[in-house]
Amino acid sequence: MRLDFFFVFLDNVWFSFTFNLDLFLLCCIISSLSLLYCISKAGDDYTVEINKKIAGKVISMIFAMFAFSLLCAKIIGELLKLNDDPKVSGVYLHLPPASLTSRVINTLYPEKDVDCITDMNMGRLVQGNLSRGFVPPLAGAVLSLLQKHDASLEGKTVLLVGEGPLKLALHCLIERNGMFVQSSHSNSNSLQSQVMHADALVLLGAESMEIPSTWVRPGAAIIRCESILKSVISGLGYLTAAYRAQNVVQSCSRWLQEQQYRPWHLHTLKLLPLNPVPSDIEISRAQTPKPIDQLAAEIGLLPEELEPYGRSKAKVRLSLLDRLHSQPDGKYILVAGITPTPLGEGKSTVTIGLVQAMSAHLKLNSFACLRQPSQGPTFGVKGGAAGGGYAQVIPMEEFNLHLTGDIHAITAANNLVAAAIDARMLHEATQSDKALFNRLVPSVNGVRKFSPIQISRLQGLGIHKTDPASLTPQEVSAFARLDLDPSKITWHRVVDTNDRFLRKITVGQASTEKGQTRETGFDIAVASEIMAILALSDNLGDMRGRLGRMVVGTSRSGKPVTAEDLGVSGAVAVLMKDAIKPTLMQTLEGTPVFVHAGPFANIAHGNSSVLADKLALKLVGQDGFVVTEAGFGADIGMEKFFNIKCRASGLKPNVVVLVATVRALKMHGGGPNVSAGAPLPREYIDENLSLVARGCRSNLRKQIQIAKLFGVPVVVALNAFRTDTPAEIDLVCQIAKECGASDAVSCQHWSQGGRGCLELALAVKEAARQPTNFQFLYNTEMPIVEKIRTIAQKVYGADDIEVSPEVQRKIDYYNHQGYGSLPICMAKTHLSLSHMPDKKGAPTGFVLPIRDIRASVGAGFIYPLVGTMSTMPGLPTRPCFYDIDIDPVTEDIIGLF
């Protein structure tokens, strides 16, 4: 499609201009184009009318009518909104000169500055860098007319008369197009001489200036950049509008290009490992992390997708999933482990070492996805979870402390629900139906109406009314009274500290609570159902729905009461709106890491978030790798990863990396007990091949078999310690392959970083090429008891399960409420495949007792309790906090690890 314009100038020379609209139409099909005019007042604005005529059929134009005296701050506020609006491709500021301050102009994003008035775009124009900037529409129109002159002006002289930003733009453009440029003022003594020698004359805003015809050379072009009205009459205004529209199209085209997947340009950080290996915090501080915006740009994130929290960490917006929805996923790798000792076997360090090896040494795109550590273990006995040695997430202090506040948000949200429960029970106990209803639905300015969440409750009760006055007394009572049974409240308060004295408490003892006392307790924050929901949510809407479905207790009539019934789930979602975004950090070698969520692995599913994995899988590209970690052994974290997390996400893993240590294998082979804080017995320091072999043929074999139940290849990663001998290492790798592992390799990442995990990286890369036959262990439509039995027999090695009459009554209740098709999340000790922590290796011949069973309906699973499980850890005699302090001068943290 072509659009032709014709213009008349003072010398009566006709110019024609042909403008191609094919690109306009193409972009209109791909994306909605918008040009927003910020104009000073309503009225007969010729500029607006011109642009309507030129581009009104192909560009959506929005008009913001600003008062003439609008404050600068208000204009800036509006511009900030437009900057973030993806539906606006260009902004034209048609404002009075007094309002076009430098602050206003430079608030506008350069990529939306289609008139090229910002300092950034003017600088690009001067430098000749128009790949990201724009040609000012009026300057483009003038240049086009010069180029369309009957006689070619190449090598000829163009005289610019006047002042202003347009003069600079024209000077640069005209020179770059092979013409010579001269400048003059309207009152210059040499003006006549310059005009007589010029091949073209451009008058810049000189409305009253008259150039005698005797001064002008025959055939010379004269272009007046005058007022809007005169430009319209002359035709220059139409051509300017066409170039402005073209800039909008160009802006949109660039935006569309930016939305495509971006190849990585990762600059890794060099490691210089020391021997002996320093402390974790010394290693962390010896490395300077890249600025987080630099890392984000290297892995293809757009600036608007990043929300920085300081210099070295940032939230990533979920809009990334929409932008890259058509991008194929990379390979999905799960790191699990054998049954650990109380000291832990290093799954986090293996995860980090593996991605460092892949990205920094094999030059493969790779991403680690880790859980956020709880403050409880950090100050308790375990320490942090940032990895260790030369396989860490940095800065490790930030990783192990507040990070971006997700756990604090969960704590606030969880305790808001708890407060709502107790307040509601107090008010119901002390008020009549009518008084309660009137306070729940108050009259505001003479109007009573239900809030949206109250209408949701009414619909749940089968009451399809929206006028509070229309409810019957029976409906008023049903709506106003949740009638919670105090003895069946399942919701606890939480705090992110190991505090055993909060395991059981009594609330309501103040006189103001009017005798509404009850026993309750605290859990550690990461045990909250909200944490499990955060990890399993697919988007903000999904999280909001799950939060509403959380069951907090049971009414006296036996009905479940949800957070939606309490009216608190919307507020909880608001508290969680930032926590749903994964946090971007980096490893010691500058490779990317997502840190998100941190649910308990023995009472919840123990995996980082679905969203972190999904974002990472898009970012690494089809040939990249995402390495995510499951808590504790394969019988707990990995089983839940497959049966719960993979069901929620729809993702299918390609490889399982099973982490083992010689230390843990010796324990499973019959070695003495290992205790945190106590010296290791000699059996774990001296070579003992018989203990290693027995441990391999019991626990390691069983854990490999568990992984292969799901149809996924297994690579065994032996996390080597300094006390391990070559013979012990070779024996583990040999037996692991005999037991069905695709490969088994020794890893030295703790002392060498990614280079010490190269063999593992190659083994994982090779295993990821193998076909998988991923399958769930059970169908969720199976009865609850049968699902539990399947896990007990096939995963744990039990002969059968034992279900008490009380547990069976609860199962019947869950079936009646429609929860029977939820997957199972077993709450079991992590120190044994069985329910008995002291039974090592691969126990058989036992019956698994189901002590209790509960439902996390919002998270979406049923969790049977096997044995005694604590949701609030306690502090040891000598916690880690004895060693932690701060230097008041440098603010450096001392003794964290």
Q: Which of the residues are catalytic?
A: 347, 349, 371, 382, 601, 632, 721, 750
User: What secondary structure does DSSP assign to 213-233, as a single string?
Assistant: GGGSPTT-EEEEE--HHHHHH
User: What secondary structure does DSSP assign to 700-760, as a single string?
Assistant: IHHHHHHHHHTT--EEEEEE--TT--HHHHHHHHHHHHHTT-SEEEEE-HHHHGGGGGHHH
| Residues whose CB falls within 8 Å of the CB of residue 865, separated by 6 or more in sequence, listed in order | 603, 827, 850, 851, 852, 853, 854
Pairing of strands 14-20, 2-8: antiparallel
Q: How many Cα atoms occupy the beta-carbon half-sphere of 631 within 13 Å?
A: 26
Pairing of strands 391-394, 387-388: antiparallel
Q: Which whole-number Å values give the CA distances from 502 to 181, 231, 423, 522, in the listed order?
A: 82, 78, 20, 5
- 365 and 359 in contact (C-beta within 8 Å)? yes
b/e code 514-531 from CB counts within 10 Å (16+ = b): eebeeebebbbbbbbbbb
Backbone angles phi, psi at 816, to 5 degrees: -65, -35
Cα(248)–Cα(37) distance, integer angstroms:
12
Cα(621)–Cα(618) distance, integer angstroms:
6
Cα(681)–Cα(704) distance, integer angstroms:
27
- 781 and 790 in contact (C-beta within 8 Å)? no
Cα(717)–Cα(362) distance, integer angstroms:
18
Backbone angles phi, psi at 255, to 5 degrees: -60, -45
Tokens 């719960």 — which residue?
644
Coil, helix or strand for 146? helix
Name residue 388's beta-bridge partners: 391
Tokens 């040499």 — which residue?
190
670 phi-psi bin (left φ>0, alpha ψ -120 to 50, beta other): left
Cα(142)–Cα(202) distance, integer angstroms:
8
Q: At what angle do helices 540-549 and 529-536 cross, to 10 degrees?
A: 150
Cα(740)–Cα(720) distance, integer angstroms:
21
Q: CB burial class (10 A; 0-12, 13-18, 19+) of residue 288?
A: exposed
**Residue 883 structure tokens:** 């060693």
Give Cα 185 to chain centroid, integer Å.
57
Tokens 């290992």 — which residue?
674
Host H or E run for residue 629: strand 625-629
Tokens 């105090």 — which residue?
486
**Residue 814 structure tokens:** 């869950």
| Residues whose CB falls within 8 Å of the CB of residue 433, separated by 6 or more in sequence, listed in order | 473, 476, 477, 480, 481
Pairing of strands 157-161, 200-204: parallel
Rg of the chain over Cα atoms, rounded to whole angstroms, equals: 35
Cα(534)–Cα(520) distance, integer angstroms:
24
Cα(180)–Cα(375) distance, integer angstroms:
70
